[in-house]
Amino acid sequence: MNIFEQVWSWLTDPDNWTRSINGPGIPYHVLKHLQYTGVAILIAALIAVPLGIYIGHTGRGSFLVVGIANSFRAIPELGLLILLVLAMGIALAVEAVTIALVSLAIPPLLAGTYAGIRNVDRDVVDAARGMGMREWDVVWRVELPIALPLILGGLRAATLQVIATASIAAFVSLDGLGRFVIDGRAFGADGGYAMMAGGAVLIAALAIAVELVLAGVQRLAVSPGLQTRRMRRRVARVWAQPKLITAEESS
């Protein structure tokens, strides 16, 4: 049996889908994986979105965005996790994993929010102010809805990365789909590699599934006026640039 056949038979083995002597089944680990991801994304969003709105709306501290996004992206998550767990103790493994995953999720969320707010048409913002809206209303009722595609784009990018990386939790005795990757590697050639590859396939499949759900959420949440082909092309062009050159910054 070559490796592909072995993986297929591992994935279709009913023993692996129910709680058996091999431990909790695949569904349990999928849920745990989603739990680690969800908590990390939530916390990262609570930090990054308000920060991105503030910096994007006021234009102050934009160097922070680039600085944070770049340096956090440079941190190797596995290394950070090892350091945190050693320092904090294995009893706090979940907290350590969360910190590591949050550091991974903040850059895309921050960049997306900042880009979204920053690229709202200045004329629209002026018009809103001209209509008598207070600053808070301008943000909440005008800038945010228009920025939503880019913010959600950041959310999708962050979620994708976190789902791929949440496998590191298994390194420090936790659960999640990474369990199959780590255990499979430990078991070695005797059925282990099939488990490892199977785990990798499941992580990828989970990422696709979540991505489809979020794409659906985006379709529902974003105002129809922003979903024309022209607006989508415009959004795509902005999203492709992590550092935005505006008239003020480009000197």
Q: How far is the CB of 14 from another protein (least distance, A)?
A: 19
> What residues form DSSP beta bridges with 20?
23
Region of 241 on the Ramachandran plot (φ > 0 left; ψ -120 to 50 alpha; else beta): beta
Residue in 3, 46, 124, 217 binding another protein, rule: CB under 8 A: 3
Q: Considering the rule CB under 8 A, would residue 71 count as an interface residue with another protein?
A: yes
CB of 60 or CB of 122, closer to another protein:
122
Which residues from 23-42 bind another protein, rule CB under 8 A? 23
Phi, psi of 35 (to 5 degrees): -65, -50
Nearer to another protein, 123 or 136 (CB): 123
End-to-end CA distance of the chain: 62
Any contact of residue 221 with another protein (CB under 8 A)? no
Closest CB to another protein among 3 and 131?
A: 3
Per-residue contact flags (x/-) with another protein for residues 95 to 134, judged by CB under 8 A: ------------------------x---------------
What number of residues does the chain have?
Answer: 251
Is 211 near another protein (CB under 8 A)?
yes
| Binding test (CB under 8 A) with another protein, winner from 14, 123, 220, 230 | 230
Structure tokens at 199: 């785990």
User: What is the rounded distance in angstroms from the CA atom of residue 73 to the CA atom of residue 108?
Assistant: 9
- Whole-angstrom distance, CA of residue 54 vs CA of residue 113: 10
Residue among 173, 157, 156, 174 nearest 36 (CA): 174
141-180 residues in contact with another protein (CB under 8 A) are 160, 163-165, 167, 170, 172-173, 178-179
Name the amino acid, one letter, at 46. Answer: L
Q: Which of 109, 118, 116 is nearest to 154 (CA)?
A: 109
Closest to another protein by CB, 42 or 186? 186
Q: Is 87 in the site for another protein (CB under 8 A)?
A: yes
Helix (H, G, I), strand (E, B) or coil at 22: coil
62 near another protein, judged by CB under 8 A: no
With CB under 8 A as the contact rule, the residue among 74, 136, 220, 224 that binds another protein is 74
Selected from 27, 61, 76, 216, the binder of another protein by CB under 8 A is: 76
Asked if 39 contacts 166 with a C-beta cutoff of 8 angstroms, the reply is no
What secondary structure letter does DSSP report for 139? I
| Total of chain residues touching another protein, rule CB under 8 A | 72
